[in-house]
Amino acid sequence: MAILGAKSFQNYIDGEWVDAASGETFESTSPANGDTIGVFPKSAAEDVDRAVAAARTAYESWRLVPAPKRGEVLFRFAQLLAEHKDEVTELMTREMGKVRAEAAGDVQEAIDMAYYMGGEGRRLFGQTTPSELRDKFQMSVRMPVGVVGAITPWNFPIAIPSWKTLPAIVCGNTVVFKPATDTPALGERYVELFAEAGLPRGVLNIVHGGGGEVGQRLVEHPDVPIITFTGSRETGVAVTRAAAENLKHVHLELGGKNAIIVMDDADLDLAVDGIVWSAFGTSGQRCTAASRVIVHEAVYDQLASLLVTRVEQMRLGPGWEDDTDIGPVINRGALEKIHSYTEIGKQEGAKLLTGGEVADGNGLEKGFYYRPTVFGDVESGMRIAQEEIFGPTTALIRVSSLGEAIAVSNGVEYGLSSSIFSRDVNKAFRAMRDLNTGITYVNAGTIGAEVHLPFGGTKDTGNGHREAGQAALDVFTEWKSIYVDYSGKLQRAQIDTAE
């Protein structure tokens, strides 16, 4: 039942705004103060089936649209998103909870991705190679695959959909998009602007609802050959299993337990800047967040003191207030999980240096706020140093050498992002070579990837695919090798023939 006074939204299927077949709905509320953002269709398998059928029909014509023309739609979308950047930013501060500057960055990343992938419409490079036979030409080209099921999280509710839908669409695929139930209004606005940009009906469809209903059906649907998913490791494994029956292409972007290494020759003020931004930006709710800080023993005490001083100056509050440093976490479940790890850290013997409590007072009790938390004297095997917390918590780990620091950084199941602060070029290059992560920063934090390089990680962070850059095209295309023989006779490669 719709909430009195709250705006109701719909699914977008085959170019039309429609309710869920069941008529059921769910509510999106602000994590900052509990305000209702809107009421959305609680969809199920029947709605997914309708969207997939629309996308499959649209694919047959969309794949034949020249790729430069597909790219032009992305350019128009980029321009529209730029024009509406302030509006979408404001919505994000309210529905997701990011502070305004970070929300604007999220939107800007989608704008950048739209321009970048729009340009791929005039590239989509293949290769030509010389044949071993006379009078024969050969080349490889990229081919679209079909309908893409895009399942996205709440923490980057505009940027991550852009990482998935934009390369898929410019390559000639069509999409059924399931946004997170915590941020449906942002997913809705994303699709509205894309439709306004002139995307033909059925090319991009949005179906709101839970993972158990909408997501599961997308993963299992026989007419959806590609699934791209960002979320937890556990759900990623479940997606892989469910998709295996139909041998789907599965792209997974999963967790992280990222570390910043601070060596004894580092600029400590710069390192603290990087730690604060990486550990507490987006309230620590990033897969690239720095939840570990590995510090050389010679500077450990000094860095810990500087960091705690900075953290205790940070202000919690709604993301739309300009003086807010840290906004809320996404929901009550997240708040409880984060606090449970504080208790685990204390039980393990780590020293709580600051934070470690649910914040209230000054209106904070209306939302889901957690004080930024720093643990000291953490051992690398402790759970708070091994498991993804996904909140504003970081752990200081003392080491005595670069080799030990690299071993500790690599000693987790994930391999997304890593960082080293050092003014020694030799140490920096050793770290660049030996840190087993998909992304490494030197004298910067663990966050801040740009759209024209591959994004993704090693080990349990994913299944080997990458988002962004040209690498993203490999998720959404198949290679076709083409041979043209103009000799006028049958020639057989690899078969010895007398000249």
Rounded distance between C-alpha atoms, residue 335 and residue 355, angstroms: 13
In a domain, residue 340? The reply is yes
Give the CATH number of the domain where residue 359 resides.
Answer: 3.40.309.10
Residues 308 and 361 grouped into a single domain: yes
Residues 64 and 203 grouped into a single domain: yes
Number of domains in the chain: 2
Of 497 and 184, which is predicted with more confidence?
Answer: 184
Residues 265 and 232 grouped into a single domain: no
Give the CATH number of the domain where residue 214 resides.
Answer: 3.40.605.10
Which residues 6+ apart lie within 8 Å of 443 measured at CB? 267, 270, 274, 420, 421, 422, 423, 428
Annotated catalytic, 120? no
Q: How confident is the model at residue 495 (pLDDT cuts 50, 70, 90)?
A: confident
Q: Find the mean pLDDT for residues 191-215.
A: 97
Rounded distance between C-alpha atoms, residue 95 and residue 181, angstroms: 11
Residues 80-136: tens digit of each pLDDT: 999 999 999 999 999 999 999 999 999 999 999 999 999 999 999 999 999 999 999
Model pLDDT, residue 484: 98
In a domain, residue 112? The reply is yes
Closest CA to 406 of 367, 433, 372, 377: 433
Residues 40 and 109 grouped into a single domain: yes
Residues 68 and 177 grouped into a single domain: yes
Residues 387-401: tens digit of each pLDDT: 999 999 999 999 999
Model pLDDT, residue 494: 87
Round the average pLDDT of the chain to a whole number and report it.
96
In a domain, residue 449? The reply is no
Model pLDDT, residue 2: 37
Closest CA to 468 of 187, 164, 53: 164
In a domain, residue 493? The reply is no
Answer whether 175's CB lies under 8 Å from 203's CB: yes
In a domain, residue 389? The reply is yes
Mapping DSSP onto H, E and C, the string for the chain reads CCCCCCCECCEEECCEEECCCCCCEEEEECCCCCCEEEEEECCCHHHHHHHHHHHHHHHHHHCCCCHHHHHHHHHHHHHHHHHCHHHHHHHHHHHCCCCHHHHHHHHHHHHHHHHHHHHHCCCCCCEEEECCCCCEEEEEEEEECCEEEEECCCCCCCHHHHHHHHHHHHCCCEEEEECCCCCHHHHHHHHHHHHHCCCCCCCEEECCCCHHHHHHHHHHCCCCCEEEEECCHHHHHHHHHHHHCCCCEEEEECCCCEEEEECCCCCHHHHHHHHHHHHHHHHHCCCCCEEEEEEECCCHHHHHHHHHHHHCCCCECCCCCCCCCECCCCCHHHHHHHHHHHHHHHHHCCEEEECCCECCCCCHHHCCCECCEEEECCCCCCHHHCCCCCCCEEEEEEECCHHHHHHHHHCCCEECEEEEECCCHHHHHHHHHHCCCCEEEECCCCCCCCCCCCECCEECCECCCCECCHHHHHHHEEEEEEEEECCCCCCCCCCCCCC
Residues 310-355: tens digit of each pLDDT: 999 999 999 999 999 999 999 999 999 999 999 999 999 999 999 9
Last residue of a domain, one of 442, 472, 489: 442
In a domain, residue 94? The reply is yes
**Active-site residue (options: 188, 220, 253, 388):** 253
Residues 361 and 434 grouped into a single domain: yes
Model pLDDT, residue 497: 65
How many percent of the chain have pLDDT more than 70? 98
Q: Find the mean pLDDT for residues 166-184.
A: 98
Annotated catalytic, 171? no
In a domain, residue 6? The reply is no
Residues 181 and 309 grouped into a single domain: no
Residues 281 and 228 grouped into a single domain: no
Residues 179 and 263 grouped into a single domain: no
5 pLDDT higher than 60: no
Model pLDDT, residue 1: 31
Q: How confident is the model at residue 6 (pLDDT cuts 50, 70, 90)?
A: confident
Residues 224 and 311 grouped into a single domain: no
Look up the domain containing 102 and give its range.
11-254+462-481
Residues 363 and 383 grouped into a single domain: yes
How many CA atoms within 13 Å lie on the side-chain side of 100? 11
Residues 8-53: tens digit of each pLDDT: 999 999 999 999 999 999 999 999 999 999 999 999 999 999 999 9
Q: How confident is the model at residue 4 (pLDDT cuts 50, 70, 90)?
A: very low
420 pLDDT higher than 90: yes
Q: Which two tokens stand for residue 261?
A: 């290494």
Residues 361-391: tens digit of each pLDDT: 989 999 999 999 999 999 999 999 999 999 9
In a domain, residue 486? The reply is no
Residues 42-66: tens digit of each pLDDT: 999 999 999 999 999 999 999 999 9
**Active-site residue (options: 102, 188, 287, 467):** 287
Residues 432-442: tens digit of each pLDDT: 999 999 999 99
Residues 303 and 218 grouped into a single domain: no
Give the β-pairing of 36-41 and 25-29: antiparallel
